[in-house]
Amino acid sequence: MLVTDILAALPLARGTPDPLFRQLYAQIKDAILRGTLGAGMQLPPTRELARLLSVSRQTVLNAYDQLSAEGYLSGAVGKGTFISEHLVQAAPAPQATQATQAPMRPLSARGEAYCAAMESVGFHQGKLRPFRVSMPSLDLFPFDVWSRLEGRRWRHPDYHMGYSDPAGYAPLRELLCVYLRASRGVSCTPEQVVITSGSQQGLFLLSQLLLAPGDEVWVESPGYQGASAPLFAAGANVRTVPVTADGMDVAYGIAHYPDARMVLATPSHQLPLGVTMSLQRRLELLRWAAAKRAWIIEDDYDSEYRYTGPPLASLQSLDRAGCVLYVGTLSKVLFPGLRLGYIVAPPALVEPVVRAKAVMDRHTAIVPQMVLADFIADGHFGRHIRRMRDAYGERRRALLDAIAARLGETVLVGPSDAGLDLAVHFLGGHDEATVVARALEQGIETRALAYYANRSAMPACAFAPGLLLGFSSLTPAQIVHGIDVLAKVLSPPP
């Protein structure tokens, strides 16, 4: 087929936002890359092609100029325009549909590990309904205050709007340090606080920084799969340790995996069972870690919300060997879309953590940090936590009362003195997957406790089946309605 015939058949869509010269440019380029137009072929003069396509000569000139600028065409006045001799075209291939296209190249082993690590991690989607887990109440957040503070920052930008300290906005680090010392007993200086884009980034950063492929890491089972995912992605050998009424069974971990490099634990409020690690086990864990020079990552994800007394002191506050890295998040206290968290690192590890953070993303977005610093400094943060603790306490009580009234002989309630969720265990022979599916059909969102079973869990880590019910984002009326529906789902057939 002649070049003129090929170009004359190019489809151009008139009356669209895409200019004709851009369409012509894209069509010719595609024909060159597919090999339909080969190196050295001469293109028709601009006037001739304009006549064939019923477009202005300027349209053709603009398309030729763009192709020449990008190296697809060459030529000179009086000699004509040619497909560049230096191009190597790809062999023509049959057009594949989007459904049948496969990746051009396989992922690396690391890439495969990342994808596999998140395979079992669920994400909240769709309309909020009972009993979505670990979700703060967005309807009670003072967004009007937040937007006013944010607007003030945008109206008066300063030098901080440029590149920032990888460790985070200094005033925010200072305020968080004061808050953590007062509320959680965390022993730190502002220099030890590193701001992250949520606790998930903090866990990923520490996994990459402190673990080599093949290193053993203790994790709780059952436990939050999102926290284990960075460990799998780092190539660690994840070793599951059972959870009892006193928290992670440290003696089991020492007996079975004595040379582990790291421990990932939630001492203050274990997810999903809701238990608290006893002081005896905390001290036992710290002694072992100090002797083995192992790291402990303390994931303190929702410790602000305790309903039967003040928040418990952190594991980090007991550390005298510099082996505990305290990881926190503001997603549960404020709102998940904020994506702000923090690491409190031992003094000797601060510089490596900051350098690794700089490699990862240079620094966390500065404006949200500045707004949060203002939110704390102006007293809104403390007032918000107190207000939410009262609201969540009321919702927790509504859930416990509704369970007692409608499900008292069907489930056993787990610890309920802290957090945003409540674990219940089946007293009968209910199948978790069946209950979850039937409840969802009725508009009720529950999560099976089996979801939190680590994929590498040993038989010793078995636990009673049941559900995790979130209550923090629901009104008491929604909670009562949800339990009424769940009671019907769990009722034996007539």
Per-residue confidence band for 304, with pLDDT thresholds at 50, 70 and 90: confident
The pLDDT assigned to 462 comes to: 72
Question: Could you give the CA distance from residue 343 to residue 360 in angstroms, rounded to a whole number?
Answer: 15
The pLDDT assigned to 107 comes to: 78
Question: Could you give the CA distance from residue 61 to residue 69 in angstroms, rounded to a whole number?
Answer: 12
The pLDDT assigned to 485 comes to: 95
- Cβ atoms < 10 Å from Cβ of 415: 16
Per-residue confidence band for 91, with pLDDT thresholds at 50, 70 and 90: very low
pLDDT digits (tens, 9 = 90+) for 141-163: 999 999 999 999 999 888 778 88
Contact criterion met (CB below 8 Å) for 225 and 233: no
309: alpha, beta or left? (left if phi > 0; alpha if psi -120 to 50): left
Closest among 478, 473, 482 to 140, alpha carbons compared: 473
Closest among 328, 235, 247, 325 to 283, alpha carbons compared: 247
Reduced to 3 DSSP states, what percent helix, strand and coil does the chain have, rounded to the nearest 5?
45, 15, 40
Whether 401 shows a pLDDT value over 90: the answer reads yes
The pLDDT assigned to 347 comes to: 96
Q: With pLDDT > 70 as the criterion, what percentage of the chain qualifies?
A: 92
* Residue 453 vs residue 285, higher pLDDT: 285
Closest among 47, 8, 42, 38 to 24, alpha carbons compared: 8
Query: 78-87, 312-321, 391-400 — which is least confidently predicted?
Result: 78-87
Peptide bond connecting 131 to the previous residue in cis, omega within 30 degrees of 0: yes
Amino acid occupying residue 347: P
Bridge-based pairing state of the strands 411-413 and 421-426: antiparallel
Q: With pLDDT > 90 as the criterion, what percentage of the chain qualifies?
A: 69
- Edge-to-edge, what's the strand order for the sheet holding 324-329? 193-196, 341-344, 324-329, 295-300, 262-265, 216-221, 237-244, 247-248
pLDDT digits (tens, 9 = 90+) for 407-427: 988 999 999 999 999 999 999
Per-residue confidence band for 493, with pLDDT thresholds at 50, 70 and 90: low
* Residue 271 vs residue 118, higher pLDDT: 271
Per-residue confidence band for 302, with pLDDT thresholds at 50, 70 and 90: confident
Contact criterion met (CB below 8 Å) for 427 and 410: yes
Residue with tokens 């053709």: 60
* For residues 106-113, average pLDDT: 77
Encoded tokens for 251: 């003696």
pLDDT digits (tens, 9 = 90+) for 351-390: 999 999 999 998 999 999 999 999 999 999 999 999 999 9
Contact criterion met (CB below 8 Å) for 204 and 210: no
* For residues 186-207, average pLDDT: 96
Query: 64-68, 116-120, 188-192, 382-386 — which is least confidently predicted?
Result: 116-120
Residue with tokens 């020492």: 254
The pLDDT assigned to 121 comes to: 62
Question: Could you give the CA distance from residue 83 to residue 32 in angstroms, rounded to a whole number?
Answer: 8
Question: Could you give the CA distance from residue 115 to residue 107 in angstroms, rounded to a whole number?
Answer: 10
Reported as half-sphere exposure (CB side, CA atoms, 13 A), residue 81 has a value of 23
pLDDT digits (tens, 9 = 90+) for 78-87: 788 999 988 7
pLDDT digits (tens, 9 = 90+) for 319-340: 999 999 999 999 889 998 899 9
Q: Give the residue ranges of DSSP H helices in 35-102.
A: 46-53, 57-69
Which residues have CB under 8 Å from 297's CB, separation 6+? 203, 206, 262, 263, 264, 265, 324, 325, 327
Peptide bond connecting 459 to the previous residue in cis, omega within 30 degrees of 0: no
Query: 99-103, 137-141, 375-379 — which is least confidently predicted?
Result: 99-103
Per-residue confidence band for 344, with pLDDT thresholds at 50, 70 and 90: very high
Average pLDDT over all residues of the chain: 90
Question: Could you give the CA distance from residue 235 to residue 117 in angstroms, rounded to a whole number?
Answer: 10
pLDDT digits (tens, 9 = 90+) for 222-240: 998 888 889 998 999 999 9
